[in-house]
Amino acid sequence: MELITKYEPDVERIERFSFSARFAHWGHTVTFLLLLFTGLVLFMDSRWDFLAFIFGGYRGAGLIHRIMAVFYTIIPIVCLVANWRGFVDWWKDVFNFGKNDIKFLLTFPLEFMGFHVNIPPQTKFNGGEKMNSVVTTTSCILIAISGYIMWFPQVFPTVLVRLAYPTHDIFMIIATTMVCMHGYLGSLHPGSGESIWGMWKGTVKSEWAEHHHKAWYDKQMESSQE
């Protein structure tokens, strides 16, 4: 069991994520984190003076928060247009939740604690990743919508403006929790090892892919031989 493993270009590798998918992922990560920390400055007010200083004060944090909100919205849309097919394939896989995904969720706690378990054949995204995709995407969309309502309250009905504030806060907490879990499980958890290279370089070891995503790996091999 290893943490982030050394990238090995000389071993047999298989493409896992396209450039547009990786750009969307890291674009979302960077903008989300900047929104999170500047948002904390605005939310906590004078109790976070040390963090406000990093962003040039409370006014600076507010400006960066709004600028990042625009990029947070634009980046996924641009990537969606650039790679519509990949987006459709992602969500087809996410909603293809079957018995092997349930088995994965039942056995994952043992793997999480360091026990060796046989992973049921998984598609490109395992059962946990599918749940993460649904919860995180839903949360981020609601954060964006409520954020724009809060930004332009004069445009929307009063009831929507009032609902926007608790919605923004609640789903920020949910999204932050999911991002922390995803970050740990995708890079630092013993056994994740190779997975982060799929999102950084675009490829993973074929051996790793076969073990962790057997159903997807077999399908890729069949396609390459046609």
pLDDT in tens, 137-153: 999 999 999 999 999 99
End-to-end C-alpha distance for the chain, whole angstroms = 35
At 68, list the tokens.
Answer: 């990042």
- Report d(CA 153, CA 146) in Å as an integer: 10
Length reported for the chain? 226
The domains of the chain are located at 1-13+85-226, 19-82
More confident residue, 160 or 111: 160
pLDDT band at 213, cuts 50/70/90?
A: very high
- Report d(CA 63, CA 38) in Å as an integer: 9
In the chain, how long is the greatest CA-to-CA distance?
63
Residue 15 β-bridge partners: 203
Q: Are 195 and 187 in contact (CB under 8 A)?
A: yes
In the chain, count H helices and then E strands.
10, 2
DSSP per position, 183-220: HIIIIISTTTTTHHHHHHTSEEEHHHHHHH-HHHHHHH
pLDDT band at 1, cuts 50/70/90?
A: very low
Model confidence over 149-181: pLDDT tens digits? 999 999 999 999 999 999 999 999 999 999 999
Domain at 1-13+85-226: CATH code: 1.20.950.20
Lowest mean pLDDT among 33-37, 50-54, 99-103, 211-215: 50-54
